[in-house]
Structure 1
Amino acid sequence: MFEAITKRPFWFNVLAVIVFFFVLAIIFFSLLGAITKHGQTLTVPDVRGKSVNEAMMILEKAGFEADVRDSIYIDTIPALAVWEQTPEKGSEVKVNRTIYLTVNKVIPPMVLMPDLEGLTFRSAEMTLHSRRLNVGDTIYKPDFATNTVLQQLLNGKPIKPGKNVPEGSSISLVLSSGTGSIENPVPNLVGLTYAEAREALSASNLNLGTVLIDPGVSDTLNAYISRQIPARKNEMGDLNLVRAGESVDLWLVPVKPVKDSVIVTPE
Structure 2
Amino acid sequence: MFNFITKRSFVVNLIAAIAMFFLLAVIFFTMLPIITKHGKQLTVPDVKGLNVKDAIAKLEAAGFDAEVRDSIYIDSIPPLAVWAQTPDKGAEVKMGRTIHLTVNKTVAPMVAMPDLEGLTFRSAEMMLKSLRLNVGDTIYKPDFATNTVLQQLLNGKTLKPGTMVAEGTNITLILSSGRGSVENPVPDFIGLTYAEAREILSASNLNVGSVIIDSGVSDTLNAYIYKQYPTRKNEIGDFNMVRAGEAVDLYLSATKPVKDSSGAAQQPPANE
After TM superposition, the score normalised by the length of structure 2 is 0.90
- Give aligned-pair identity as a percent: 70
Which residue does the alignment assign to 1:261?
264
- 2:110 and 2:74 map into 1 onto residues whose CA distance is 13
- How far did 1:138 drift? 0.6
- 1:8 and 1:246 map into 2 onto residues whose CA distance is 113
- 2:70 and 2:133 map into 1 onto residues whose CA distance is 21
Which residue does the alignment assign to 1:18?
18
1:83 counterpart letter in structure 2: W
Query: Structure 2: any 5+ residue segments left out of the alignment?
Result: 266-272
> Secondary structure of the residue that 1:83 maps to in structure 2?
strand
- How far did 1:164 drift? 2.2
- How far did 1:2 drift? 5.1
- 1:152 and 1:45 map into 2 onto residues whose CA distance is 44
Moved more, 164-173 or 200-209: 164-173
- 2:228 and 2:95 map into 1 onto residues whose CA distance is 82
Which residue does the alignment assign to 2:154?
154
- 2:46 and 2:173 map into 1 onto residues whose CA distance is 39
Cα RMSD of the aligned pairs, angstroms, is 1.7
After TM superposition, the score normalised by the length of structure 1 is 0.92
1:28-177 residue pairs with structure 2 within 5 A?
Answer: 28-177=28-177
- 1:258 and 1:22 map into 2 onto residues whose CA distance is 117
- 1:234 and 1:7 map into 2 onto residues whose CA distance is 132
Runs of 4+ in 1 over 4 A off after TM superposition: 1-10
> Is 1:251 equivalent to 2:254 in the alignment?
no
Which residue does the alignment assign to 1:241?
241
1:197 counterpart letter in structure 2: A
Q: How many residue pairs end up in the alignment?
A: 262
Moved more, 212-221 or 236-245: 212-221
- How far did 1:215 drift? 1.9
- How far did 1:21 drift? 3.0
Query: Structure 1: any 5+ residue segments left out of the alignment?
Result: 263-267
2:86 counterpart letter in structure 1: T
- 1:149 and 1:244 map into 2 onto residues whose CA distance is 17
Moved more, 176-185 or 224-233: 224-233
Moved more, 201-210 or 152-161: 152-161
